[in-house]
Amino acid sequence: MSGLQPIAFWGLQVPAGDQLTMVASEIPGVNMFRITMAAIDPNAKPLEADQPKRATLKLIRRPLDHDDYEDDEDDEDESADEEELKKIQKKSKKLAKKGAQANQMEVDGEDSDEEEDSDDEGFETEEFVICTLDPERQYQQTLDIVVGEYEEAFFKVVGNFDVFLSGNYVVPADRNGEKDDEDDSEDEDEDEYDLSPDEDELMNMLGGGVDDSEDELDDIENPRITEIDSEDEKKEIEPKLTKAGKKSLKRAAEEEGRFNSPTVQENRRQEDPERAEKAEKAGSPATKKVVQGVTIEDKKTGTGPVAKNGVKLGMRYIGKLNNGKVFDSNTKGKPFTFRLGKGEVIKGWDVGLVGMQVGGERRIVIPANMAYGKKQLPGIPANSTLTFDVKLLEVK
């Protein structure tokens, strides 16, 4: 969920008939796309009635060049990259034009001058089959294809139906929000969310930690503060109370009992119901339930606005596999934001986060069919059950 930030919807219609269609941006300065779905209209009429009712989607691109992805070091490098990008776009338009004219019977050779011929010389392409769709058995296919900023990509359809692609314009996650200054990070400590053990805890778990029972103060003679190692030492050190002291302790215990009695608590609810309700929620124990196969366990109940379908949430999270390995996290900096119930995240999140309140912490265990299913992603094997520890920071 980190790495690339979606900023707008992207779509492309690839017509049937073996015609090249270029992947192009309509947003200035944004040239990266994540393609997540390919589909055909099951009610559409086939292009040729006597041909098989299917459509094969293919991706054509220029082989990647390492030079296209080198970082810029100065203004001269940036201008060179801009010229290279313009050159790539120029070649892309030429290749798309040549694909559109591939089925024509006549080609006018006088339309291309010597400069165009020299530019196209040595322009190689790679072709990949993405999926085959038909209107009866499989008319849509989920994808996860990212077209990079400097990639020249085209799609074409071999078959009888137009293919509709959809996804998002994306940018690197650190482009939308730079790292916070050190001064600002101190004010956001309460938003940081880290359940992973620190270095000392790991050393103790592995048996290599330092014994907490020993420290550099143990060698001081006659210390004013003494460590108690056993109950016997505790009894020896405890002072004996006088009769007056015992009466004072008894009176304090009685006052505390009256203060926490049901009658006093009921009076509190009547005087300030909202405050009483928040206090009861804050002290409530963890609860666990299962909704649509997703196990939900509230670790801490929040007191702010409630997460409902359609609202925008700001989250901290740590995602783990069953073996405890962390595959993704957002614990500081800009929170991860999305709109609940709109399919912008895995289904287990849309189900497991409903009802949370701002300030609340929750653990959700998501089965594979509510996460990524049989799909294998970097760091996430196929058919993986995912565990997320989440904290709700804001509701918009």
Residues forming the active site: 317, 327-328, 346, 372, 388
**Closest listed residue to residue 7, CA positions, set 180, 178, 173, 179:** 173
E strand or H helix that includes residue 89: helix 75-100
**β-pair partners for 395:** 313
What count of other Cβ atoms lies within 10 Å of the Cβ of residue 160? 22
**Closest listed residue to residue 302, CA positions, set 353, 346, 336:** 353
Do residues 41 and 47 make contact, with C-beta atoms less than 8 angstroms apart? no
Q: What is the CA radius of gyration of the chain?
A: 32
> Which amino acid, residue 222?
N
- Alpha carbon distance 322, 333 (integer Å): 27
Residue with tokens 């609340």: 360
- Alpha carbon distance 330, 393 (integer Å): 12
How far is residue 222 CA from its own chain's centroid? 57
E-assigned strand segments in the chain: 4-14, 21-22, 33-39, 55-61, 126-133, 140-147, 153-159, 163-172, 287-291, 294-300, 312-320, 326-330, 336-339, 361-366, 386-395
E strand or H helix that includes residue 97: helix 75-100
**β-pair partners for 386:** 366
Do residues 141 and 38 make contact, with C-beta atoms less than 8 angstroms apart? yes
Bridge-based pairing state of the strands 361-366 and 336-339: unpaired
State the Cα angle at 73 between 71 and 76, rounded to 5°: 110
The three-class DSSP label of residue 132 is strand
What count of other Cβ atoms lies within 10 Å of the Cβ of residue 31? 18
**Closest listed residue to residue 39, CA positions, set 169, 167, 154, 166:** 166
The three-class DSSP label of residue 260 is coil
